Amino acid sequence: MPPVAGIEAEAVQLRTDAAVGGQVQVRVTDTGGEPFTVTSVAIDSPGFAPLPDRVVDAAYAPGQTIDLPTPFGEVVCDRAAEPAAARLTVVRPDGAGEVLRVPLAAEDLTEIHADTCGARAALAVAGVTVTGLAVDGEAATGSLVLTRTGDDDRAVTVTRLEGNVLYGTGADLPRTLEEGAASLRVPVEFTMARCDPHALAEVKQPYRFLLGVQVGEDAEVPVDLPLEQAQRDVLFALVDAACR
């Protein structure tokens, strides 16, 4: 993809983007000698389903960089994320407008694609659920259950379960769903990591917990622990039980 004179673009996932989900910043820089205005932006990548252009109003001076929050579409795992482009509608000082495909430095976008497709592949071998979650004193306890979902008989190892700013986790890991076994059940516990008002008010993803999963000899992949609304309600109730 040929470069576009005077414009460079990079996809960057900030912490706030990860919290919101489904978006990155398209970091556009005016590398030329003339100002311009960007009035719409979209990500053009074979590894993501296309979305309509997002309307923006960002005026650039020479040398200026502005981040444009930009959603990305559903991940397409049988295609690579790169080469990628930022599709920009650019208006010049004389009022002339044009749609440009600016080569997009997409390391963060490629990582999102790889993590999403790795998780899908692992969960196609063994699904993950949480069962029996209930508040027990100052903890919420239940079971982490792996259930084989297809014909792939390889061993599946749960390597780790990470807490977040608000909640800590406890589980006897790593544990392995042995080759050919149908299911694995592991007791799991959630506790409060923080009870201060700032953490309770500002946490962006209170119910996001990362599970490490390894299928056979493949590399470990991060998987979001699936929690239904009723289970999130249990964790919400834990705040009252443990943070009095």
Q: How many CB atoms lie within 10 A of CB 68?
A: 19
Residue 65 near residue 105, CB atoms below 8 Å: no
- Side-chain half-sphere CA neighbours of 227 within 13 A: 22
Is the model's pLDDT at 202 over the cut of 80? Answer: no
Least confident of 83-87, 92-96, 185-189, 195-199: 195-199
Q: How far apart are CA 152 and CA 216, in angstroms?
A: 10
Q: How many CB atoms lie within 10 A of CB 95?
A: 7
Domain 7-117 class in CATH? mainly beta
Report the alpha-carbon angle 104-16-197, nearest 5: 175
**Residue range(s) in the chain whose domain bears CATH number 2.60.40:** 7-117, 127-242
Is the model's pLDDT at 200 over the cut of 90? Answer: no
Please list the alpha-helical segments (H only) found in 124-228: 197-202
How does residue 1 score in pLDDT terms, banded at 50, 70 and 90? confident
**Segment (H or E) for 16:** helix 15-20
Q: How far apart are CA 64 and CA 82, in angstroms?
A: 26
Instruction: Say how many Å lie between the first and final Cα of the chain, rounded.
Output: 59
Q: What is the pLDDT of residues 112-145, one digit of tens each?
A: 999 999 999 999 999 999 999 999 999 999 999 9
Q: How far apart are CA 200 and CA 208, in angstroms?
A: 14
pLDDT, residue 16, reads 87
Residue 63's alpha-carbon distances to 28, 59, 123, in angstroms, are 10, 12, 45
Is the model's pLDDT at 244 over the cut of 80? Answer: no
DSSP state of 34: S
Secondary structure tally for the chain: helices H, strands E: 4, 15
Domain 127-242 class in CATH? mainly beta
Which tokens sit at 95? 């009022």
User: Scanning the structure block, which residue is given the tokens 């799991």?
Assistant: 188
41-69: average pLDDT:
98
**Segment (H or E) for 236:** helix 229-242
Chain centre to alpha carbon of residue 115: 8
